[in-house]
Amino acid sequence: MTELVTYTSKHHVATITINRADRMNALNEEVILALQAAWQRLENSDDRVAVLTAAGDKAFSVGADVKDAPKEMWQGVPSIGAQTSKPVIAAVKGWCIGGSYVIVQMCDLVVAADNTRFKYPEAQLGFTGGLIASAVARIPHKVAMEFMLLGEDFDAHRALAAGMVNKVVPTGEEEAQAQAWAKILANSAPLVVQGLKEFSMATLNKSPAEAGAVARDQLLGIKFSDDGAEGRKAFGEKRTPAFMGR
């Protein structure tokens, strides 16, 4: 982990926090790779559920850092940059813009403070990673198109009505509510919780950008594996590679 993303664990509940409040938790390369590492750590740990939070009062995150944009935003997205069979609960407050909404969209449950404002302005800015298109599998089609294309703010209560969040609470209570739900899940049957999440993820349609990102993650895993390094080394040394399957 890096100081920009922290991972703490208590009673089988992981708390993953974006700590870049001075930049309104803008997502740069270091943050994205640290989030990816956090999802991998969650999957390989004894923790049964994660709560995703962010430091500061003004924003969950304003999206990609325009001065230090991440190379591959998808790497920080749960179930895309790293497969997570365990549930993730987002506790959101303040601004949640662009790519940060995509991260929230891929969480299983979302608690929003009543000061939360969601926004996806990419159509007005002239660029997109495309992962937002998976919104049409998660909220009503017409609402998803409105949110994606018009770039207008959705406040917490509009997001609740649209199914983008599960619950709206007074500002400052969002993490406590997320932790309360996490406690329920941590005390539930892990195989049932994970099985239901896996079946649900398999049922949801994936946009081309989402499916492509998942495939790219798998291919990068092969490229940077021990076997990949051994194959390249053996080729240079003109010998038969000794693959180990890792």
DSSP per-residue letters across 118-152? EE--HHHHT---SGGGGGGGTS-HHHHHHHHHH--
> How far apart, in whole angstroms, are the C-alpha atoms of residue 58 and residue 63?
13
pLDDT tens by residue, 47-68: 999 999 999 999 999 999 988 8
Q: Which CATH architecture has domain 5-237?
A: Alpha-Beta Complex (3.90)
> How far apart, in whole angstroms, are the C-alpha atoms of residue 9 and residue 86?
14
* DSSP code of residue 49: E
Rounded to the nearest 10 degrees, the angle between the axes of helix 208-223 and helix 226-237 is: 50
Bigger pLDDT: 220 vs 100? 100
pLDDT tens by residue, 3-40: 999 999 999 999 999 999 999 999 999 999 999 999 99
Contact in structure between 51 and 175 (CB atoms under 8 Å) = yes
**Across all residues in the chain, what is the average pLDDT?**
92
Contacts 24+ apart (CB under 8 A), 123-127: 123/148, 123/149, 123/150, 123/151, 124/151
| Predicted structure pTM score | 0.88
> How far apart, in whole angstroms, are the C-alpha atoms of residue 60 and residue 107?
14
Q: What is the pLDDT of residue 16?
A: 98
Token code pair at residue 55: 């430091």
In the block, which residue shows the tokens 């944009």? 69
pLDDT at 136 over 90: yes
pLDDT interval class at 223 (50, 70, 90) = low
Q: What is the pLDDT of residue 162?
A: 97
Helix (H) or strand (E) run with residue 179 in it: helix 174-186
Bigger pLDDT: 70 vs 184? 184
> How far apart, in whole angstroms, are the C-alpha atoms of residue 98 and residue 129?
10
Domain ranges across the chain: 5-237
Contact in structure between 117 and 92 (CB atoms under 8 Å) = no
Bigger pLDDT: 178 vs 222? 178
pLDDT interval class at 132 (50, 70, 90) = very high
Share of the chain above pLDDT 70, in %: 94
Contact in structure between 194 and 83 (CB atoms under 8 Å) = no
How many other CB atoms are found less than 10 A from the CB of residue 35?
27
